[in-house]
Amino acid sequence: KRPPLTGFSIIEMVDEYRGEPETEFVQGLPFNTYLVRQVHAFALQPGQYKVEAAEVSSNVHLIKVDDALNRIPFDEKIVSKSNELDVDVKPLPPDQPENFSGAVGNYEVSMKANLSEIHPGDLVKVVITVKGRGNIPLLIPPIVQWPKEVDTADPVVREEYNKYLSPLEGQKTFEYSFTAPDTGHYLIPAAVFSFFDPSVGKYKISQSDSLDLLVIAGESKSTIGAPEAIPTTTNSNRQMYWFAVVVLAIVSWIAY
């Protein structure tokens, strides 16, 4: 019985619990040890939490010897329980930055565009990456003040992390797409990301470099190299010719 972890966001640290034992020696005697569960648990709210005991039920094979020295095998069911766990989740300090969204850990933010030469009508992708250690699955996009000429939709979100490390280490990317407007300079200010660093007990702010997008006159890359439309013409004589060939083949097959 694996205890429920209510109130926590969970990431399993083991790909598959196969039940394969490892040997551990206790007072010189070998014992089989089994990994029941191992997870990253991120508390969603402050407060007092109790993690229930884990339970393992097993059948122990025993042999009883009676007065006549007869060996009588029998099984005995034993339930082993772990201790319960009390977790005290403290609230975050009150002096939160204006754009703080609950990120806990240590992070750096960067921003880049996919094109170096942009023409009106090109599809521009701006990727914002938050990299570091902490509650990566719970991160939301950093604050960006987009120019009024740039119309972006909700970003495409991707996560990459090493679940075998604790604390969780990796990155989360937010990819924004928009069509390049008319020619000119378009400044995208730095992306700002604030987080609480528990190692020092303080809020920190990381910000990327700004992006200066220069849209120059010219043909959009989406239209360069596109094949010219070939006018379609109908040729009734050719169609009738192939129709007659097909009919002749079918009649010949039936006659055969």
Q: Report which listed range, 3-12, 125-134, 245-254, is most confident.
A: 125-134
- Pick 218 or 65 by higher pLDDT: 65
Q: What's residue 201's pLDDT?
A: 93
Collect contacts of 14-22 with beta carbons under 8 A, ≥24 apart: 14/38
Q: What's residue 62's pLDDT?
A: 93
**Helix/strand number for the chain, H first, E second:** 1, 16
What's the chain's average pLDDT? 88
For the chain, the residue count is: 256
Q: What's residue 227's pLDDT?
A: 52
Q: Which amino acid is at 138?
A: L
Confidence of residue 220 (pLDDT cuts 50, 70, 90): low
Q: Which residues pair with 71 in a beta bridge?
A: 65
Q: Which of 79-88, 103-112, 164-173, 237-246 has the lowest mean pLDDT?
A: 237-246
Would you list the DSSP string of 131-151?
EEEE-GGG--PPB----TT--
Give the dihedral sign, CA 132/138/142/148: positive
Q: What's residue 169's pLDDT?
A: 93
Q: For residues 31-51, give the mean pLDDT.
A: 91
Taking only the tens place, the pLDDT of each residue in 52-90 is 999 989 899 999 998 888 999 999 999 999 999 999 999
Give the phi and the psi of residue 17 in degrees, each rounded to 5. -90, 95
Q: For residues 1-10, give the mean pLDDT.
A: 90
3-class DSSP state for residue 96?
A: coil
Tell me how far apart the alpha carbons of residues 9 and 134 are, in angstroms, rounded to a whole number.
13
Q: Could you give the C-alpha distances from 82 to 43, 51, 123, in angstroms and in order?
A: 22, 11, 57
Q: For residues 224-236, give the mean pLDDT.
A: 49
The pLDDT of residue 224 is above 70: no
Q: For residues 115-139, give the mean pLDDT.
A: 92
Element of type H or E holding 10? strand 8-12
Taking only the tens place, the pLDDT of each residue in 151-209 is 888 999 999 999 998 889 999 999 999 998 888 888 999 999 999 999 999 999 999 99
The pLDDT of residue 238 is above 80: no
The pLDDT of residue 123 is above 80: yes
Residue 246 · residue 239 · CB < 8 Å:
no
Residue 34 · residue 2 · CB < 8 Å:
no
